[in-house]
Structure 1
Amino acid sequence: MKKFILILVLILHNSALAAEKDSLYISQYQNQLQKLSKYEAFFCDACGCAAGNGSSGFESLLNPQFIGIKYFAQHYKAKENLFTQDLTQNQYFNTIQVWGKIPVTQKLSIYGSIPFQFHEKKTLQGDINISGIGDANIIGIYEILKSQNEYHQLNGGFGIKIPLGRFDEKGITGVNPSFQLGTGSWDYQLALSYKFQKNLFALMLNTDYTIKTENKKHYQFGNQWNYAATGFYRLWRNENSILSGKLGLQGEVYDWNKQFAEVIPRTAGSALYGKLGFEVSYKKFSLGSELMLPAYTQLAGGDIEAKSRFSLFINFGI
């Protein structure tokens, strides 16, 4: 773990030293980008419980406003039942979502997403599959501060999750209660994002906190805190296209789930991921991908282990 963090810090440090007198942005968008906020927001892609609600966020530097489609996959290992110590059950959480980021004023933008979930877990009794629409998200993002040289920028956000996804009360009896299409609850989110950008290099620091409420079945998933540090470096550019790579860390901390206001044991936990990805654009189109692998995982009291995450998106600038 210490070696992983040390290598990451050295790479980001060397990237900053290697920056030249060029920009991460395509020249044809430069004037427009100077007027629009460049920010990052976080959101929950699945349901909001101890595992399966990974927050991948979006970190596009190439389109300040867009509509697009994103695929997000998560893999976990879980105990088959409470009477064994082995993590034998594979659980796969998959999300395809329509998302967008639209400016309202020069400083205020609105982000929204509507996901479609298709999840699977492989048990000794056979595979179990669920699919359907998930919970929608709406987040307002406000530019709090931007330096005159535009090297520094601070944004804050407030969001709400709308419970469109179906919550199955039977699903909470398993080892992973997050095997759901939705939480069944209205949840609220506070976010803060800092960006430093100079020449070929950019660094984003983000944190957000989600407050989860009790649903109609008297079940309440634990509150969630996400944090991330991501470095971007422009690798290649021509008149119409640009390619950037990114490298970073992302962590998640989950509070206890509750039912009828009583804490449910072995539902809290945390995980830390290393992530590596890229983004490429051509005119108004951008394509990006990201792979996340766990550096540390302690979910549901050790009953669940995070394995990997993968995302792929394509956006169209508007």
Structure 2
Amino acid sequence: MKNICFTLFAFSISLTASLACDVCGCSLGSNYFGILPQYDKNFVGLRWYYSSFFARMDHNSEYMEDEYSNDTYQTFELWSRLYLTDRIQLFASIPYSFNQMEGSHQKVTAAGLGDISVLANYTLVNTGEDVGNPWRHTWLAGGGVKLPTGDFRQQDQGLLVNPNFQLGTGSTDFVLNTIYTVRFQNVGLNLGTTAQLNTENPEGYRFGNQWNASTQLFYWRQMKYLSILPNIGMYYETGEMHTDNGIRQLNSGGEVWLAQVGLDIYYRDVAVGFTFKNPVSQQMNSDEVAAIESKERIMISLIYNF
């Protein structure tokens, strides 16, 4: 799913179209920082996101056939961090998405450029490495913009595909975030939160505002040129209902809690990361007919520090 598409998953379902996961909900995925590698360096890297969702609509009618959809969302993201000054970091992400909708009434594939994001973070606190002090703190805060570079007018059989399945939202949206990391010797805790404030696109459709928060407990093990960083934690995301020309859309918005486990490996200037998330609790704003379920998520990353 697009990333990142975020943090949350909102979903829109119509009686004549296939059920689909909210592509916008994952847009925050592109703005997910997690445990930032080698804090004092620039980097460029690739990330791959995978998400899957299942939705169904039980009409309980002899005249209307039940509907279902298995949807998968993959995003290949080029992202980078550059220091503009000692305290200001610039982040940029360029996603390429591949979405598949396998439904009872519709099968659609979408591939192409997604919505590009550019953010800047300011370092509020950075205690650095001090041999005499086992504690280390870093705190960043900032924000940026998500640009409407992805296609949001894709059609299938002459009809506009569900907005949730489009490669982009068609709107210019604004992102706020903060990241705090504390480490005592080899054990640390990473806390992060991101909010996305969405605007209306040229079609009059507006995805609900979204917010996520994560906490990760990690262990840092240094071995000459090689370092490993296993981590475990929780991830939460939520989204408001969507609107279409000011009218609130049923079966959109909700919240989900995911348990996550990961491993980062650093060798000299190269870092490889793996994260797996699995839902433990979720509550979507679905009506009595529709049921929407978020499945597992996977992220794999490769970074070069310079």
Fold similarity call, TM over 0.5 = yes
Q: Aligned residue for 1:117?
A: 97
Q: Aligned residue for 1:252?
A: 237
Q: Aligned residue for 1:305?
A: 293
1:261-316 C-alpha deviation (Å, 9 max, x unpaired): 22112212001100001000111000000000001122242632101000101000
RMSD: 2.5
Q: Aligned residue for 1:135?
A: 115
User: Are 1:45 and 2:28 counterparts?
Assistant: no
User: Are 1:77 and 2:77 counterparts?
Assistant: no
- Number of residue-to-residue matches in the alignment: 273
Q: Confirm or deny: 8 A CA contact 1:49 1:177 kept in the other structure.
A: no
Q: Aligned residue for 2:253?
A: 268
Moved more, 245-254 or 50-59: 50-59
SS at match of 1:181: coil
**Pick aligned residue for 1:239 from 224, 235, 251:** 224
Output the amino acid matched with 2:37: L
Q: Aligned residue for 1:188?
A: 174
Q: Aligned residue for 1:108?
A: 88
Q: Distance in 2 between matches of 1:184 and 1:311?
A: 25
Q: Distance in 2 between matches of 1:300 and 1:110?
A: 35
Q: Distance in 2 between matches of 1:63 and 1:147?
A: 14
Identity %: 24
Query: Where does 1:1-318 land on structure 2 (aligned, <5 Å)?
Result: 44-46=3-5, 50=10, 51-52=22-23, 53-54=25-26, 55-56=28-29, 57-64=32-39, 65-79=42-56, 81=57, 83=59, 88-125=68-105, 127-147=107-127, 151-168=136-153, 177-234=163-220, 236-301=221-286, 303-318=291-306
Q: List runs of 5+ in structure 2 lacking aligned partners.
A: 11-21
SS at match of 1:92: strand
1:102-149 C-alpha deviation (Å, 9 max, x unpaired): 111111000000000000011124531111100000010001233585
Q: Distance in 1 between matches of 2:276 and 2:228?
A: 17
**Structure 1 residue ranges (4+ consecutive) displaced by more than 4 angstroms after TM superposition:** 84-87, 147-150, 169-174
SS at match of 2:188: strand
TM-score normalized by the length of structure 1: 0.79
Output the amino acid matched with 1:135: D
Give the deviation of 1:195 after TM superposition.
1.2
Give the deviation of 1:155 after TM superposition.
1.3
Q: Confirm or deny: 8 A CA contact 1:87 1:303 kept in the other structure.
A: no
Q: Distance in 1 between matches of 2:48 and 2:154?
A: 27
Q: Distance in 2 between matches of 1:243 and 1:152?
A: 20
Q: Confirm or deny: 8 A CA contact 1:77 1:87 kept in the other structure.
A: no
Give the deviation of 1:49 after TM superposition.
6.0
Q: Distance in 2 between matches of 1:96 and 1:160?
A: 19
1:65-113 C-alpha deviation (Å, 9 max, x unpaired): 210011000010112x463698842110100010001111111000000
1:225-246 C-alpha deviation (Å, 9 max, x unpaired): 1111111112x43211101101
TM-score normalized by the length of structure 2: 0.82
Give the deviation of 1:259 after TM superposition.
1.1
Q: Distance in 1 between matches of 2:165 and 2:278?
A: 21
SS at match of 1:178: helix
